[in-house]
Amino acid sequence: MTPRPYACVDPACTDAAHGHPRPPSVAAVATSAKASLAHGSPVLIRGGRVITATDDYVADVLMRDGVIDAIGQHIAVGPDVAVVDASGLYVLPGGVDTHVHMENVIGPTITCDTFASGTKAAAFGGTTTVVDFALQTAVDSPLGAIERARRSADPQVNVDYSLHVIVTRVDDQVLQDVRHAMRHEGVTSFKMFMAYPGVMMADDAAIFRMLRQVGSEGGMVALHAENGTVIDLLIKEALAAGHTSPRYHALTRPAIMEGEATHRGIRLAELAEAPIYFVHVSSNQALKHIVAARDEGIPVFAETCPHYLLFDDSVYNNDDFATAKYVMTPPLRKPDDQQHLWRALRYDDLQVIATDHCPFCMKEGHLGYQLQKMRGQDDFSLIPNGAPGIETRLVSLFDIGVMRGKLSLNRFVELTSTTPAKLFGLFPRKGTIAVGSDADVVLFNPAASQTIRASELHSNCDYTLLEGRTLQGRVEKVFLRGQLIVDGQQWHGREGLGRFVPRGEVRAF
């Protein structure tokens, strides 16, 4: 039996019991064909179904000077205001994706989306704010990392953005810089790795020091939780046994080592009396510790990613190199893990769905990118970890979550926009539709469907995990601070139109 969606998503439905009022008949409204949507004039979105994390109603939304100016019934406007008829469409807050990797240098290679291409893909997918990473290298400080990332991103970004700093080395100076970044640079979250020894991994004491410092200042440490040293040993043993194909990536990163690191991270956060956020949670081994900690009242937060909900480890049942497209960390898990992820998403043990968009091309040299997935042709441990997904996040979750009755519409918005904005200090500027919030608005058509093809997406990546899959729902129009940037397949945005958004304290409690 197909489960019935929590909220009715049929735009033609007239059953009042389904909880969505029909648009009132619109009277006495002046509109103008003169006001141009593409040129920054105020815009009235007329008669769409406004969905936030808590509300669901039909209204007009007036956007002016970059923010939402008014929400109401039958808003009358003059000829200077462009009017968009949104009947039958959802009016959603722009997506907030707090885990993306553009131009990230990882080992000897780089992710194949620039800030320009990756944020354009984000926009077409209905995401208007991303949080990327600034990597502290062996030689520079968190402040140097922020400066370097901003120098590259600021002129290129097509949507608004911020940065988490990846902290790989902790000493007194680093902690001072972290405080400065939080107080003066608008960077209030920091990512640390319990995996990748010798490259990114931080030891427990370093993580604990950061948790104490960042937590006491109202920020958030995000943890990549896997037991790096044990995994490294398993990798060496697999290679020594002649196991070189991509599927051994998954076999050497067992869920129990994600669980172990998650438990350790929780205990470190508990001791530090700090909130903690786990990125890319993939397994019930990790989840069960998160659930237990939340039940104990420890402020533990976590995200999962669409690929863990869309695919399972059956993709690794072969030795083909094509499997390298599923080489991401943590790897895909069992169908049983997926069921636990869905349960956790429903009951708020997982609060965010972010993409971990970390694209590497399958074809060496595509758009000039070198040392991409083919680097690991003869050794799975050299395959750069990660997969694309930024453009398909909302539509894939709408299809497999909302349409299949696993997520209500409000929960869909909460997981993809509102809570990520709250947890990372962007709310209420981002993450909702409210008077005074940035006018980042997506018009979403629940009745349309689309077949996903990498050739039609806007990432530089040469593949999508969803190739050929038909999904229900389509992003029709996207406004960034009131400016139309996406209109169907038409691009009206501009590199540099996106802005760096200084962030505030975590709002999670």
Residues that bind ligand URP (CB under 6 A): 101, 224, 280, 328-329, 356, 358, 385-386
Q: Of 468, 485, 487, 469, which is closest to residue 477 (Cα–Cα)?
A: 487
224 vs 429, beta carbon nearer Zn ion:
224
Which structure tokens are listed for 415? 């997981």
Beta carbon nearer to Zn ion, 224 or 373: 224
* Residue 374 Cβ vs ligand URP, minimum distance, rounded to whole Å: 17
Main-chain phi, psi angles of 355, to 5 degrees: -90, -30
Tokens found for residue 315: 């993709």
CA distances from 320 to 244, 245, 311 (A): 11, 7, 17
What DSSP designation does 438 have? B
Which residue of this chain has its Cβ atom nearest to Zn ion in the complex? Answer: 224
* Beta carbon of residue 386, minimum distance to ligand URP (angstroms, whole number): 4
What's the closest the beta carbon of residue 141 comes to ligand URP, in angstroms? Answer: 21
Shortest distance in whole angstroms from residue 57 CB to ligand URP = 38
Q: How far apart are CA 55 and CA 434, in angstroms?
A: 11
Neighbours of 244 (CB within 10 A): 16
CB of 456 to ligand URP, least distance (A): 24
Q: How far is Cα 86 from Cα 75, in angstroms, rounded to an integer?
A: 14
Binding site for Zn ion (CB under 5 A): 224, 356
- Name which of ligand URP, Zn ion, none residue 385 binds, using a CB cut-off of 5 to 8 Å depending on partner kind: ligand URP
Q: Tell me how far, at minimum, the Cβ of 356 lies from ligand URP, in Å.
A: 5
Select 132 or 462, whichever has its Cβ closest to Zn ion.
132
- Residue for token pair 């996106």: 498
Given ligand URP, Zn ion, none, residue 164, with its beta carbon under 5 to 8 Å by kind, binds none
Q: In angstroms, what is the minimal distance from the CB of 153 to Zn ion?
A: 17
Residue 186: burial class (beta carbons within 10 Å; 0-12, 13-18, 19+) = middle
- 408 contacts which partner out of ligand URP, Zn ion, none, CB within 5 to 8 A by kind? none
Is the Cβ–Cβ distance between 188 and 425 less than 8 Å? Answer: yes
Q: Out of ligand URP, Zn ion, none, which partner does residue 127 contact, by CB within 5 to 8 A per kind?
A: none
Cβ proximity to Zn ion: between 5 and 142 the closer is 142
Nearer to ligand URP, 263 or 280 (CB): 280
Identity of the residue, 224 or 429, whose beta carbon is nearer to ligand URP in the bound complex: 224
When CB distances are held under 5 to 8 angstroms depending on the partner's kind, the choice from Zn ion, ligand URP, none that residue 354 binds is none
Q: How many CA atoms lie within 13 A of 41 on its CB side?
A: 19
Q: How far is the CB of 61 from ligand URP (least distance, A)?
A: 35
Cα dihedral sign, 404-409-413-418: negative
Which lies closer to ligand URP via its Cβ, residue 49 or residue 280? 280
- Judged by beta carbon distances under 5 to 8 A according to partner kind, the member of ligand URP, Zn ion, none in contact with residue 100 is none
Helix (H, G, I), strand (E, B) or coil at 392: coil
- Which one of Zn ion, ligand URP, none is in contact with 328 (Cβ closer than 5 to 8 A by kind)? ligand URP
Pairing between β-strand 82-85 and β-strand 43-51 as defined by DSSP bridges: parallel
DSSP H helical ranges for 188-346: 204-216, 228-240, 247-251, 255-272, 284-295, 306-310, 335-346
HEC-encoded secondary structure of 369-413: CCCCHHHHCCCHHHCCCCECCCCCHHHHHHHHHHCCCCCCHHHHH
CB of 457 to Zn ion, least distance (A): 19
- The Cα-based distances of 362 to 74, 226, 377, 461 in angstroms read 51, 25, 11, 8
Identify which of residues 48 and 228 has a Cβ nearer to ligand URP in the complex: 228
Minimum separation from the CB atom of position 192 to Zn ion (A): 10
**211 touches, from ligand URP, Zn ion, none (C-beta below 5 to 8 Å by class):** none
For the chain, count helices (H), then strands (E): 13, 19
Determine the Cα angle at 362 with ends 360 and 364, to 5°.
Answer: 95
The residue among 330 and 431 lying less far from ligand URP, judged by its C-beta, is 330
Closest listed residue to residue 20, CA positions, set 95, 93, 87: 87
Min CB(113)–ligand URP separation in Å: 13
Q: Which is nearer to ligand URP, 361 or 475 (CB)?
A: 361
Measured distance CA(145)–CA(148) in Å, rounded = 5
- Residue of this chain nearest to ligand URP (CB atom): 385
In terms of CB distance, is 224 or 249 closer to Zn ion? 224
H or E element, residue 187: none
